[in-house]
């Protein structure tokens, strides 16, 4: 009798040993993840988060680092939460990538995120988040990317974001942000910088010092920005795409110089004066739109300027020449 049970006992003890000795998942991370699962009401998409299994091997949404065995990624997309982001996320101290994209997450961006000192990539685009863009993000020094587009964030843009030495992409478009563009944004030191702030309620002038920042993509369209932006252009600028459309900008375009790096220029729906500078014929533009302004005079002939259809130029005070009708002078 006893001897026939022996192999079974042996097997049971082996499997016990293998579970307790080979689990890579750090117990703190496991507890935190189980708390997150609970906070999210034990949803079906976290069915793989079984406390009896190793969170480093079998669990969806998260990724464990091969060397440290700590959770470094939490990536959730296109999943209907309709719940706030669990504060327990802040107790994954090795997290580098936090993505909750298009998940209908509600509430504010939790203060607990301020504990994630290793965070490199924060993508919370396309949710139902409210409240401010938190200024504590300026303390997470490893951030290279912040995506908060398409939420309902309010308040002004915290100047502290410019203290992030590695940040090269900041996406704040399609929220309800107010106030001005912080002057401190001139302090971004990157060789290349992507800034998206379109579809907000930003107002006031663009600070002159921003002319010294190396923007590659700048989209501030559909705000209430006013004044001059000619200092954002110039021969030595690295800007590839500049979209200032649908603001209240007012300046004279006649003497503005453009860099050969510029490929996309959108200035439509402003109050821009003067004429189209002949220098634009030397730029290899892929797209351009200066419609709905107060420009006058002959459209210079050459380069790409006649390749765009008349809608790139229409609704100005007195622009003329191809692709618009011939000038009458």
Ligand X SMILES: *[C@@H]1O[C@H](CO)[C@@H](O)[C@H](O)[C@H]1NC(C)=O
Chain contacts with ligand X (rule: CB under 6 A): 78, 80, 102, 104, 152, 175-176, 189, 191, 212, 214, 234, 236-238, 252, 254-255, 268, 273-274, 284, 286, 289, 291-292, 308-309, 311-312
- CB 28 → ligand X: shortest distance, Å? 30
Name which of 58 and 235 has its Cβ closer to ligand X. Answer: 235
- CB 88 → ligand X: shortest distance, Å? 22
Name which of 111 and 152 has its Cβ closer to ligand X. Answer: 152
Environment class of 61 (CB within 10 Å of its CB; exposed 0-12, middle 13-18, buried 19+)? buried
Are 198 and 172 within 8 A, CB to CB?
no
Name which of 20 and 236 has its Cβ closer to ligand X. Answer: 236
Task: Tell me how crowded residue 127 is: count the other CB atoms within 10 A of its CB.
Answer: 23
- CB 78 → ligand X: shortest distance, Å? 5
Helix (H) or strand (E) holding 32: helix 27-39
- CB 14 → ligand X: shortest distance, Å? 44
Task: Tell me how crowded residue 194 is: count the other CB atoms within 10 A of its CB.
Answer: 18
Q: In the 3-class helix/strand/coil scheme, how is 33-86 assigned residue by residue? A: HHHHHHHCCCCHHHCCCCCCCCCCCCCCCEEECCCCCCEEEEEEECCCCCCECC
Quick one: how many helices (H) and strands (E) in the chain? 2, 18
- CB 157 → ligand X: shortest distance, Å? 15
Provide the token pair at 63. Answer: 């990724």
Name which of 65 and 257 has its Cβ closer to ligand X. Answer: 257
Name which of 189 and 224 has its Cβ closer to ligand X. Answer: 189
Number of residues that this document lists for the chain = 329
Name which of 223 and 268 has its Cβ closer to ligand X. Answer: 268
- CB 25 → ligand X: shortest distance, Å? 28
Are 126 and 102 within 8 A, CB to CB?
yes
């Amino acid at each position: 009798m006893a001897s026939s049970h022996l192999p079974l006992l042996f097997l049971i003890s082996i499997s016990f040993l293998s579970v307790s000795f080979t689990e890579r998942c750090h117990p703190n991370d496991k507890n935190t993840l189980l708390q997150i699962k609970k906070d999210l009401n034990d949803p079906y998409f976290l069915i793989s988060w079984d406390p009896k299994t190793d969170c480093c091997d079998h669990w969806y949404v998260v990724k464990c680092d091969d060397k440290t065995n700590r959770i470094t990624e939490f990536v959730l997309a296109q999943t209907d939460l309709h719940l706030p982001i669990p504060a327990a996320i802040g107790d994954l101290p090795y997290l580098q990538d936090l993505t909750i994209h298009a998940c209908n997450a509600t509430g504010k961006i939790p203060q607990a995120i301020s504990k994630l000192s290793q965070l490199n990539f924060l993508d919370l685009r396309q949710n139902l988040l409210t409240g401010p863009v938190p200024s504590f993000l300026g303390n997470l020094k490893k951030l290279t990317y912040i995506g908060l587009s398409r939420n309902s964030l309010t308040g002004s843009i915290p100047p502290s974001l410019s203290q992030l030495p590695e940040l090269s992409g900041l996406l704040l478009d399609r929220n309800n942000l107010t106030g001005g563009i912080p002057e401190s944004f001139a302090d971004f030191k990157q060789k290349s910088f992507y800034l998206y702030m379109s579809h907000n309620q930003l107002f006031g002038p663009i600070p002159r010092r921003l002319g010294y920042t190396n923007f590659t993509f700048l989209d501030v369209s559909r705000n209430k920005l006013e004044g001059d932006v000619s200092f954002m252009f110039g021969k030595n600028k690295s800007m590839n795409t500049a979209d200032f459309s649908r603001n209240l900008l007012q300046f004279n375009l006649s003497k503005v110089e453009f860099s050969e790096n510029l490929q996309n220029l959108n200035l439509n729906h402003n109050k821009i004066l003067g004429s189209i500078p002949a220098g634009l014929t030397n730029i290899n533009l892929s797209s351009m739109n200066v419609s709905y302004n107060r420009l006058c005079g002959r459209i210079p002939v050459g380069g790409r300027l006649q390749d765009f259809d008349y809608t790139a130029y229409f609704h100005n005070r007195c622009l003329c020449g191809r692709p618009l009708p011939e000038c009458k002078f």
